[in-house]
Structure 1
Amino acid sequence: MNNLKLKLRDIQRDQAGLYSCVASNIVGDGESDPLVLHVKYVPVCSSTLDQVLGAAKEDQVELVCRVDASPDRVTFRWYFRTPEQLVALDPKLSTAQDRSSVLNYRVVKDDDYGEVLCFAANDLGEQSVPCSFSVVPTREPDAPENCTLTNQTTDTLVVQCRPGYDGGLKQRFILEVFESVESAESVESYGDSEGDSRGVVTNVTVGEVPVFAVDDLQPGTSYFLVVYALNDQGASRRRHLHSFTLPTVPDHRTRLYPTHIFPITPILGVLIGVVGGLVVVAVVVVVVMKLRGESRRAKVLNQGPAGLKLPVPRPTTLQQHVKEAGGANSGPDLILCRPESSYEDVEDIPHKLKHANIYQSLPYNTNLPPSNTNSECCGCCDC
């Protein structure tokens, strides 16, 4: 770009088209009207690939030559290449329209098989690289290649392949679905001709592109697939694939509750309720029995022999001294007697026991000084 000019150098034909410029300021953008750039060039083939066509003897094939050119007013010339030279073909055998020409080529003898060339020219000149066609004897097509399963559901299969050489003729593609390998092998042993449907679950025929969609299959089933191509000269070799459909699963999309590993049936729910009730009853029984046992033990401790209520003895001076000196864990127990010689004032004691001595066990403190003979003691005890 230089000032308000755009300079293009080494122009190629793909640079032809519409050009416009855009100016911008703080208010916005403004765009100019488009200018058309026409790039002129000599004709070139629309397809850079060599076309292969098959023909049997006495057959006539159509060779279509398409070119791109500017200007698009184009003329065509056809040649047959021999090992020595290019032989011009009769212009009456071809027709031209716009930027294409069609040649009706007939094969009469073996020497007519070979390479046919198409040259196009416009006002700038003739194309330097012609469009090429190879006319070969027809034969059966090559088998499809790279066949793969692209989609598998519970009842559908999709198989996609790449086409092989068509044998010089228009071909079509067939997919056969067998329920077992044995049934497919029996068909192949019978012959490679189309129409033998023994053991075939279904078959699909397509045109130029070998992509097959098979439906209405059984869920969770294995299948044996056979793919091949077919033209007027015969069938190709067969490609084999093993496939299967997915098993059906329950539809849980409408469920509002989470799934469980083990489904809870009504019977299982009743059993769980019964077991839970028994566990609660057992716990209650154990707690009640434990409470009753503790109450009975406390009542026995508060009663003497034969259910007699024992009075709580009043602590003596020696008992207080022992408690202050060391407590219950200071040494062996001492058998001390009640200072009073009788229990006539105690209720619920039989008359014969009122003058008996009742003893109480107190801990012995080894740190006490030797007791005097003046210690309070009954005549029946050794102090």
Structure 2
Amino acid sequence: YDARNRPASHWQNPSHFQDRAVFNVETDTLMLKQSKAEDQGTYRCRVDFRTNPTLTFTTNLTVIVPPRRLTVYTDMNVEARRSVGPYLEGETLRLTCKAYGGSPPPRVTWWEGALLLDMTPEVETLDEVANTLVVPSLSRRDLNRALTCHAQNSNLTEPLTTTLTLDMNFPPLWVRFERTFEALSANVAYSIVCESAGSRPPPLVTWRLHDTILTTHTETTSHEGNLTTSELKWTPTVGDVGKVLSCQAESEKIAYPPLIVEWHLDIYCEYAITILKPGKSLNLSNIEEGDDVYFECSIQANPWVYKIIWLHELRELHHNVSAGVIISNQSLVLQRVTRAATGNYFCVASNVEGDGKSNPILLRVKYSPVCRNEQMTYHGAARYEQVNIPCELDAFPEPHSFRWTFNNSGESVEIPQTKIHRLGSRSTVSYTPNTELDYGTLLCWGTNSVGLQRHPCVFHVFPAGRPDPVHNCSGFNLSETVVNVRCVAGFDGGLPQTFVLELYEPHTNVLVANATSMVPRFVVGGLQHGMTFTAVVYSSNGKGRGEMVSFKVYTLKDVAEKRTAAVKPPPTRGSNSEQLQAGGIIAVVLGALGGLLVVAILICAVVRVRHLRREERRRRGCGRAGVRDTVVSGQDDGGGACQAKTTATGAVKEFPPPPASPRDADEKNPDVIPLSENAKFPPFRFDPNIILFIVIPVILPFFPHPL
């Protein structure tokens, strides 16, 4: 730069830096763009002054060139990328890292994470620097070990790196059964699991039963690949007793002896075989109440049973001498059996294989007839009415004959066989009461091969009639379309009764709905909302209908309908519209006249009420004050005076107390604010706003729309 003549002039040699060199006059600095290796050297800056001596500045520029490439080689001089191996346990790892190029020559080092492993290069030339890493006797801990080679010749630049992962193969460490059994059951499917760990890659698993290879197995490997599980689906048989089941694991990549685990099988037979037999001298077809019965249970089992139980149907029997149940080893004794002992008997023998249930033996205990439960014992009948009364018995064998008698307070009469009908264990008698003495008790006996029924079945015949009316009827759970009614039933008259509900429209007495029930409770739906109905409830039996009970029930109004504004259709045009308009005018006139009439009536009523109130207060004031000799003026609302009246002899005439008025009752009401004695009412003045705010809103809904 020459600054002697303004402006300053600049000169440069274009063949040396071309346009990569720029001199900044303000800071007196020289800037080199995209520096190159040949830019390295000594730079001299000379400054010439007009009067002062010349100044010279010298600067040494060093250009650092990073290495071009970094490569790792194995001991077989094969380039390694990302991973190296696989290696086996005990082998030695040798890796050579070479850095090419770089000025000054780079420093090549080996790292494992932040740990420096090797920093001594074996070869160092101007164009190549090499460092060899040696790891002797590899072990399982070296698997997936990450080794990194660094090449760097200056702290000003990022190092050139390459990372390798160490891959290794291992034989299995162990093999075992996940679970072993003391014994297996024949003809039962099992899932047997064999596990092997430590092999890389996963091992080859082989199952053998003695000399036979089994193929019904599947293998799975854990997520880390360290554990291999093989599951064998196998069903042992009795012929497998004493054989050896083995699981073998071996590595396909390593010539290493396989690992084998063996299981000496112990096969159990199926559950115990049980056979139930009656006692040798026992005749099961002729067992009556009071006899003794015994059974024997024959058992074949391997291993032997540890428990024997006895079942009557599905109920377990327990040893109880007082109840007549004796259990001893493989025998059961029932003493003094009753009809409750009838049913199937089993013996169940249990061993480690399960429960063996025997064949059933049916025991039928013969017994004389008894009355069957849950039969109707009360029967109502009118005079000269025939009723059929059934008598049902429990017996084994079935009864072959029946006997009926009639008892009352005075006699006992045998019912002839012509009135008795028999069907199996059921007998029905046809009985007709003709007089009051024919009402009483019927007794029924049955007879079978065991004997006569000990206790007869008892049936009571009484006069029957119509049922009593229901009472306490009411509606509940009100809704818009459903009516719920409940009542309390009366006496049924001795016969089953049925209840009926009928709903009527109260004005036309038209039947709207009805319902029938066996209990006095009804639910009727599908009704109109906001309606009042007359409900009629009565009961009936075979003798007729009882008295009716009526009451009111309701359905609620539809809230949604009340909130919906009614929309009237627009009037039709033509002759009809003119008639409607004329009718509307007439309605307006009539409505106005009616409104004026109502206003007049209201005004008269108000004036009359206020006049009566003033008279009432005047009379009350006079009664309280008594008789006065002077005229008191200005003490009442009307401006009059209370004056005492005397008789001819000068005695004071007593006035009776005023009669009680509705207003006095209101003043005694604690919820009403009492009226003050001195309260004054202003004179009534007609206010036109009464018509605007009271009368018009009252009569407006009666007017048609034209208003």
**TM-score, normalised on structure 2?**
0.29
Identify, as 1 or 2, the structure richer in strand.
2
**TM-score, normalised on structure 1?**
0.50
Q: Which has the larger radius of gyration?
A: 2
Identify, as 1 or 2, the structure richer in helix.
1
The structure with higher relative contact order (CA 8 Å, sep 6+) is 1
